[in-house]
Structure 1
């Protein structure tokens, strides 16, 4: 990216999804362009906001490294971006399966705010209940979803460049009418097989074409990519060719047109876990 281009890059995902590994590598490889703003290190969201503003004022792009699990949390960063005219707001959603995050948490021993596997799993469960995926109506310029296959344990500078270029070239986010809000936990519950039903007919990820996950596309917001001819595809894809919308993205829509699943508000300042 050019040195004159300023970006507020909002990372979104569960604890254990890989956000901090990416953000740390981004700042390490490009310290003259990027500042990582991590709540676990800084102590509070207010301190993250302060560092983000200071960094943007000094000409840096900023990477907001926290879970950012719902619209109200992400709104802090879009507001800050608007304070600096010309600043782009990008989102990377780390679409890491719940089970993978749980496995990582059981092996993690050095997290600054999560001091035991049991605590990590408790936080993960709570975040699953509250998670709402990012959507176009929040005002982002770009949104890209990364699967575990798209991420690294040790990023090279070239890996970071590829991901940033993928975000930049994904094309403007398209808006549709306001979607019904459905939590990730609700999607997972509906995706599980009923008693007596084979797992093949209703798998996690929504392979049942007549089921819950296939119907939520009716009024959902889609993330476009540029086609070779210059047009805009309706659905972005991950590097392995799968449509963005699997698990973390796909259910930001309506079911039957009138079902509205509401998530109660919660404090976002208890943990900024990565």
Structure 2
């Protein structure tokens, strides 16, 4: 199983990716605070329920700071409640100006009603942004830039390619915890972090 933590400023593309992930790979469940009344505790409860059901978690939240209420630490703690769960971080490294441009045109956000409100939130989150560090307890961290995926939508193949690249990246966790390699579709091969280079089979 996997807990995939998305990190990035508002407007960076997290929700677009998370929605495509859940659509194309239903073994991932999107846990989005904006759609759960803005209550982090409800997101935590959904994440725990998802893991109990044997599914993977995608935390669709800004997660921009490791210190304020230990934002990202909550998801690491939940993942560790299920032994063998991999903890991945996908950082949406989208330039501030690109986020601004997207927010000026956004009209369908569940909680942010005006572009002015969105830009105010963007400025506040940007000022406190702290990139994820290996010592926080993740297995893999990868940055995703707009140039890596210039299209607005994500195909199933593109989503899988990102997950494969993230899974096969060099591990960053400092301990030797063993976890089960997640399978995206139709594969029965399993392993540990030590054989991360094994390929997926469709």
Give the alignment's TM-score, normalised by structure 2: 0.82
CA deviation digits over 1:176-230, x for unaligned, max 9? Answer: xxxxxxxxxxxxxxxxxxxxxxxxxxxxxxxxxxxxxxxxxxxxxxxxxxxxxx9
Aligned pairs, number: 170
CA contact (8 A) 2:139 2:173 kept: no
Partner of 2:75: 77
1:38 aligns with 2:36: no
Partner of 1:272: none
1:128 aligns with 2:123: no
> In structure 2, how many angstroms separate the alpha carbons of the residues matched to 1:40 and 1:99?
23
> In structure 1, how many angstroms separate the alpha carbons of the residues matched to 2:54 and 2:120?
39
Superposed CA RMSD: 1.1
> In structure 2, how many angstroms separate the alpha carbons of the residues matched to 1:75 and 1:174?
14
User: 1:154, CA displacement in angstroms?
Assistant: 1.1
Q: Which has the higher contact order (CA 8 A, sep 6+)?
A: 2
SS at match of 1:9: strand
| Selected match of 2:47 from 45, 52, 62 | 52
Partner of 1:104: 102
Give the alignment's TM-score, normalised by structure 1: 0.61
Partner of 1:16: 11
CA deviation digits over 1:43-96, x for unaligned, max 9? Answer: 110110011000100000000000001111100000000100000000000000
> In structure 2, how many angstroms separate the alpha carbons of the residues matched to 1:11 and 1:169?
17
Distance 1:116 1:26, change over 3 A: same
Q: After TM superposition, where is structure 1 displaced by more than 6 Å over at least 4 residues in a row?
A: none
Partner of 1:171: 170
CA contact (8 A) 2:137 2:173 kept: no
SS at match of 1:143: strand
User: 1:149, CA displacement in angstroms?
Assistant: 1.6
* Deviation larger for 148-157 or 104-113: 148-157
Partner of 1:222: none
User: 1:123, CA displacement in angstroms?
Assistant: 0.1
User: Is there any run of 5+ residues in structure 2 with no aligned partner, and where?
Assistant: 175-196, 198-202
SS at match of 2:164: helix
Distance 1:49 1:174, change over 3 A: closer
Distance 1:87 1:174, change over 3 A: closer
Distance 1:149 1:55, change over 3 A: same
CA deviation digits over 1:17-49, x for unaligned, max 9? Answer: 000000000000011x11000001111101100
1:116 aligns with 2:111: no
More helix by share: 2
CA contact (8 A) 2:86 2:139 kept: yes
| Selected match of 2:87 from 86, 89, 92 | 89
